[in-house]
């Protein structure tokens, strides 16, 4: 009978608690799942933020979307070949312009040879940055030929650049709808 007692003790110990190795495997699996789920949530949140940044352009407030305290302007001194930083206050109120040409190109510089930063759809708001070129350029717009200066603007998402003056207007364009009624 003495042989039965030690075996019964072994079976009682193994039934009550999972062996240490099995418990360790479960913990590692659970932690791996948590890390994977957090990374997926981060990717989804970043995608939503990018989508919101690209689509959100119409705001009810007419204030500057960027920092209100100070902006840093970087200029190059041609004689000394060094970069000079100046702190320029950002205006509290800005003038809003509306895009009147579909697919208006926001460019780095005020000319057609400059690289395109972004394409802006019609009816979107842009912020006028109080800079207009002194020269006017004649460009064929398809339905007409325009002679306008270039205008520096900022999109709601914060991209700055130059647009052709005929592509923006102070007033939002009226959409023409078909008003014919069936009688």
For the whole model, what pTM was predicted?
0.47
Residue 150 belongs to some domain of the structure: yes
What 48-54 contacts at long range (C-beta under 8 Å, 24+ apart), as own/partner pairs, is 53/157, 54/157
Q: How far apart are the C-alpha atoms of 153 and 32, rounded to whole Å?
A: 47
Q: What is the pLDDT of residue 22?
A: 85
Q: What is the pLDDT of residue 19?
A: 77
Task: Give the residue among 59, 180, 67, 179 at the shortest CA–CA distance from 126.
Answer: 59
Residue 44 belongs to some domain of the structure: no
Length of the chain: 183
Q: How confident is the model at residue 102 (pLDDT cuts 50, 70, 90)?
A: confident
Quote the domain boundaries for residue 154.
94-169
Residue 72 belongs to some domain of the structure: no
Residue 124 belongs to some domain of the structure: yes
Query: Which residue is listed with tokens 């920092």?
Result: 67
Domain holding 153: CATH number? 2.30.30.40
| DSSP at 111 | S
- Assess contact for 83 and 76: CB atoms under 8 A: yes
Number of folded domains that form the chain: 1
- Assess contact for 60 and 96: CB atoms under 8 A: no
Q: What is the pLDDT of residue 110?
A: 93
Residue 112 belongs to some domain of the structure: yes
Residue 49 belongs to some domain of the structure: no
pLDDT digits (tens, 9 = 90+) for 1-41: 555 555 555 554 555 566 788 888 999 999 999 999 888 88
Of the ranges 55-59, 66-70, 82-86, 135-139, the best mean pLDDT one: 135-139
Q: How confident is the model at residue 151 (pLDDT cuts 50, 70, 90)?
A: very high
Are β-strands 145-148 and 116-120 bridged in parallel, bridged antiparallel, or unpaired? unpaired
Q: What is the pLDDT of residue 61?
A: 40
Q: How confident is the model at residue 150 (pLDDT cuts 50, 70, 90)?
A: very high
Residue 165 belongs to some domain of the structure: yes
Residue 8 belongs to some domain of the structure: no
Q: What is the pLDDT of residue 5?
A: 53
Q: How far apart are the C-alpha atoms of 69 and 92, rounded to whole Å?
A: 9
Q: How confident is the model at residue 71 (pLDDT cuts 50, 70, 90)?
A: very low
């Amino acid at each position: 009978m003495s042989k039965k007692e030690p075996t019964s003790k072994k079976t009682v110990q193994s039934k009550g608690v999972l062996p240490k190795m099995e418990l360790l495997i479960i913990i590692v699996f659970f932690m791996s799942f948590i890390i994977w789920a957090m990374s997926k949530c981060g990717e989804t949140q970043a995608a939503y933020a990018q989508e919101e940044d690209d689509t959100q352009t119409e705001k009810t407030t007419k204030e500057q979307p960027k920092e209100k305290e100070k902006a840093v302007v970087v200029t190059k001194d041609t004689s000394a070949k060094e970069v000079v930083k100046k702190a320029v206050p950002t205006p509290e109120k800005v003038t809003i312009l509306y895009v009147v040409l579909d697919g208006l190109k926001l460019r780095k510089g005020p000319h057609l040879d400059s690289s395109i930063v972004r394409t802006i759809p019609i009816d979107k708001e842009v912020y006028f940055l109080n800079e207009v070129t002194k020269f006017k350029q004649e460009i064929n717009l398809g339905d007409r030929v325009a002679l306008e200066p270039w205008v520096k603007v900022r999109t709601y998402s914060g991209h700055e650049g130059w647009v052709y003056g005929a592509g923006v207007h102070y007033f939002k364009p009226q959409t023409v709808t078909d008003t014919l009624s069936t009688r």
